[in-house]
Amino acid sequence: MSDYKYDLFISYSRHGSAPKWLLNHFYPKLEEYLVDEIYPSPKIFIDKGMSRGVAWSPELKRALRYSKIMVAVLSAPYFGSNWCMAEWDSMAAREKMLGLASDDRPQGLIYPIRYSDSVDFENEGRLRSWWDFKGLDGADRAFHGSKDWHAFQLKVRDCARDLAELLRQVPPWRPDWPIIEEPNPVLTPSPPMPRFDP
């Protein structure tokens, strides 16, 4: 294969409510609005569709290597996930190779979506601008009928328009895109000190 296979690679932690929000709301709406902006329909990799029996790491690495942009759904557990960090570091290495996400060329290939938190984000996450969906993060299907649903849809539509523009500017595919072979171990924070003496 000598070209991109996917327009977007969605990176997210499987912990907490972010996966439910992503699969119930954000991903379907993003896909719908991207079709309004791009023809033929953009191809999105999200690992919910991987075949049974496929080893996770080779399939994820292959999909990331052949993706134009990585959409990272940031939540408190995101930067504590080995696989999320391997995905992030791989795309950050590609940006470095291309001189992107730098002082001279600030636009990068990592496209952050803030689902929740930010206090626990690593420096890489804090140094990038993101689309802020905190407050529009109802994970259950009842969110469709909430007062925030319209605002959520408008924000996803704007996000899709922005991504469509960025996809037109992505550098040509190269076979030497770097991939982090093994995720770095995540250091677990030490437990908090007791606040009161027994």
- Tens-level pLDDT at each residue, the chain (198 residues): 469 999 999 999 888 899 999 999 999 999 999 999 998 889 999 987 555 555 557 888 899 999 999 999 998 888 888 888 889 999 999 999 999 988 889 889 999 999 887 666 665 655 677 888 888 888 888 888 889 999 999 999 999 999 999 999 999 999 999 998 765 444 444 455 455 444
Q: Say what the pLDDT of residue 125 is.
A: 57
Cα(138)–Cα(153) distance, rounded to whole angstroms? Answer: 13
Q: Say what the pLDDT of residue 121 is.
A: 64
**Four-point Cα dihedral 108, 154, 132, 134, nearest 10:** -150
| pTM of the predicted structure, to 2 decimals | 0.84
Q: Say what the pLDDT of residue 128 is.
A: 72
Distance of CA 19 to the CA centre of its chain: 11
Cα(178)–Cα(97) distance, rounded to whole angstroms? Answer: 9
Cα(118)–Cα(120) distance, rounded to whole angstroms? Answer: 5
Q: Say what the pLDDT of residue 188 is.
A: 45
The DSSP symbol for 122 reads -
For residue 90, the tally of other CB atoms under 10 A from its CB is: 23
